[in-house]
Structure 1
């Protein structure tokens, strides 16, 4: 099948061969995590993490989704995995705006990690929770120029609400996308408008600078 003009830039940036000299560089990732039954201490809590990846082509948006799951996990662990999975899907060094409602993730990558690394991956109070995931995320982020942005969860941000829906589904079904797949965001947004009257003022726009 021949690629459409809108498909080519995102495939170059996210999926194309490593030798391609002209990738699209600016990427937005909206990610979320879910941990079902996290309030219980005596049972495994299945979790999921997911994201919506967007690339502006000049003529419109190209979008991909991803999601992963674990049978017994925590919200913090899945927040880290949401970032690892999203960044690892980018084939080229990109300028990335990574948007999440996890302060643990956003503060960790924008503030705490610098001191941890200076102290040999230790914090003043002792061991770092999920240290191996932090190290893996640090390696993935080093390939890109990442701006970490916190957004309040469940506050009417459609892209992050969509990522949350993907994460909850992944946790319930214990499913994984196995990489980036064509996005269902536009269809999801239309259903939200028609069935729930939400996001009626949401429209496509030329993106700001990353």
Structure 2
């Protein structure tokens, strides 16, 4: 789950196409390995995106922090320069409910579907634990940002060069991005390959949907998107 340049978004569109054409459910070891391979490619894309973003933040912290490439809607939903990590858990619960309702008869008959509607009690328990852990980390990072803001106001009031304190803001942004990536990785590792494919498709579709709606709104207002 990442939003960035048109190049990054184009790559993600291509990867989502590969995800959507995966054989689900896999019926042989080769198909199983293919699912794993495509999931790994998506995760590698996310890791590369955050690596490049980290380098950009070191060069121009404020620009990356406010995400000028994003739509007004996207920025209104952002937490420290991008999506809030706990969004991933809301997505898991939502997709699990949708899949469960679609196949409720089969599941109640004891016929497993293997999709996100067929999460095991262990998986649900781990998702809940990961959510609690992530909330705690989010709160801690928000506190770091609050501390930076307080120091920045003091420096501005004292007519001190704020550039001296930008390193701390870069650190906050990198920590937030690290949590975003780790959250997706932990969820994907918890899921079966089929479930991971479904989760990543849903996450990308949510991103594309928000961006598309935001772009339409910005065009109506005459706002430009980089």
Scaled by the length of structure 2, the TM-score of the pair is 0.24
Larger Rg over CA atoms: 2
User: More strand per residue: 1 or 2?
Assistant: 1
Q: Which has the higher contact order (CA 8 A, sep 6+)?
A: 2
User: More helix per residue: 1 or 2?
Assistant: 2
